[in-house]
């Protein structure tokens, strides 16, 4: 099976040839990454790909989904930091070598600005030109899904984190209008990506972080009243266009919202964080084939601690739901706090399961 066949078999709740895998190793530019350490410890040159080595099957593809990529500009540059206007219209300050930034100014300062804010066309080649060149090769190797942001997290880019929550509490009608405005924009971007990369047979992942380890940032009632129409619009439009799957990515404990997500059409979730109480076995018991699961490995405590007995018990627990399908294993992000030895052991345990339970052996 190709990675695409393998992943889609699993997400359709059929027994896969082997357990599909999804991981990020070096995507975020935070200091010395796991992939750098891995190359050094293994003695591999840059031609050896870490994603091939560990049989990673999924790749997420996103262009520039900002409102105004034609208006990006460098405003100030020093040896210590840069100040730029990004494609969302935010003015941001980023320290040299830092992956994260501090917002200084948002484009939607006043509610009335929503009626006049500039939006570049969704089919602008500038948005997609880097991935356009790579997509044929990526599709041969991976199961590629389109990504867009979600209406909550992307609205915070144009309004500001604190102000958006204030809007939701104090002016829910405006917040609802903003979420739908953002959903329509993001959906146009998603549809263009589906079209130009021909990814209908896989689908779309909506990234909308909305929770901490203690639970959602807002109440289920607020989610249903203000955000559900925007999420449902995106899901319905993507499905009507022919996208096979629409999944949700959100870190944190989103259990209070899962019934709502299923009702409005999300077919699965990622990354299913154990530290937030998101246990793949318990979720499978509760939701069955109503909810596909991608993730489940604990990259905050168990894998960094590296105790082999603990790691084995944890990985085997996650894999206990894999044979029936509906599951892709992964930890979302493997950082430098996880040793190469520990991640090798995780990979060996998955290989062992593939041989024992699925009768699969890796090609020599």
| 253: nearest Cα among 280, 219, 277, 284 | 277
List the structure tokens of 345.
């052991």
What would the two tokens of residue 216 be?
């959602």
The pLDDT of residue 30 is above 70: no
Domain ranges, ordered by start, for the chain: 3-67+109-358, 68-106
End-to-end CA, the chain: 16
Give whole-number Cα distances, 163 to 160, 208, 226, 268, in Å: 5, 17, 15, 30
Residue 29, pLDDT above cutoff 60: no
Average pLDDT over residues 320-343: 95
* pLDDT of res. 361: 83
Question: Tens digits of per-residue pLDDT, 5-25?
Answer: 999 999 999 999 999 999 999
Q: Hey, what CATH class is 3-67+109-358 in?
A: alpha beta
Is-contact 124 69, C-beta < 8 A?
Answer: yes
Reported as type and span, the H/E element at residue 303 is helix 302-305
Query: Is the per-residue pLDDT at 364 higher than 70?
Result: no
CA distances, 274 to each of 53, 252, 271, 285, 305 (Å): 25, 9, 9, 16, 15
pLDDT in tens, 147-203: 999 999 999 999 999 999 999 999 999 999 999 999 999 999 999 999 999 999 999
Q: Tens of pLDDT along 193-219?
A: 999 999 999 999 999 999 999 999 999
- For 215, list phi and psi in degrees, rounded to 5: 135, 180
Span 54-63, average pLDDT: 96
Side-by-side strand order, sheet with 327-333 = 21-24, 327-333, 292-296, 268-270, 245-249, 203-207, 143-149, 58-61
**Would you say residue 31 has pLDDT above 70?**
no
């Amino acid at each position: 099976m190709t990675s695409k066949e393998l992943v889609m078999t699993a997400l359709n709740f059929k027994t896969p040839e082997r357990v599909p895998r999804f991981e990020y190793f070096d995507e975020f530019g935070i200091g010395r990454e796991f992939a750098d350490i891995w190359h050094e410890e293994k003695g591999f040159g840059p031609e050896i790909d870490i994603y091939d080595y560990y049989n990673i099957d999924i790749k997420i593809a996103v262009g520039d989904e900002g409102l105004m990529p034609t208006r990006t500009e460098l405003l100030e540059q020093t040896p210590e930091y840069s100040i730029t206007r990004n494609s969302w219209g935010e003015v941001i300050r980023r320290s040299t070598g830092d992956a994260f930034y501090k917002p200084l100014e948002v484009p939607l300062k006043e509610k009335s600005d929503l009626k006049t804010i500039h939006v570049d066309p969704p089919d602008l080649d500038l948005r997609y030109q880097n991935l356009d060149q790579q997509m044929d090769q990526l599709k041969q190797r991976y199961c590629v899904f389109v990504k867009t942001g979600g209406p909550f997290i992307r609205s915070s880019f144009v309004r500001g984190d604190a102000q958006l929550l204030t809007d939701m509490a104090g002016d829910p009608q405006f917040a609802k209008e903003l979420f739908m405005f953002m959903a329509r924009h993001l959906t146009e971007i998603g549809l263009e990506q589906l079209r130009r990369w021909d990814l209908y047979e896989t689908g779309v992942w909506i990234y909308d972080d909305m929770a901490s380890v203690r639970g959602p940032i807002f109440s289920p009632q607020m989610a249903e009243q203000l955000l559900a129409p925007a999420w449902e619009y995106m899901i319905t439009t993507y499905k009507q266009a022919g996208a096979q799957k629409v999944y949700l990515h959100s870190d944190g404990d989103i259990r209070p919202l899962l019934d709502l997500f299923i009702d409005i059409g999300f077919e699965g979730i990622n990354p299913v964080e154990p530290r937030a109480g998101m246990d793949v076995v318990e979720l499978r018991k509760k939701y069955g084939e109503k909810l596909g699961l991608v993730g489940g490995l604990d990259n905050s405590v168990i894998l960094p601690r590296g105790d082999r007995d603990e790691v084995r018990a944890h990985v085997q627990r996650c894999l206990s739901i894999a044979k029936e399908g509906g599951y892709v294993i992964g930890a979302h992000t493997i950082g430098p706090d996880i040793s190469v030895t520990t991640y090798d052991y995780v990979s060996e345990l998955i290989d062992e399961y593939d041989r024992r339970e699925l009768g699969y052996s890796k090609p020599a």
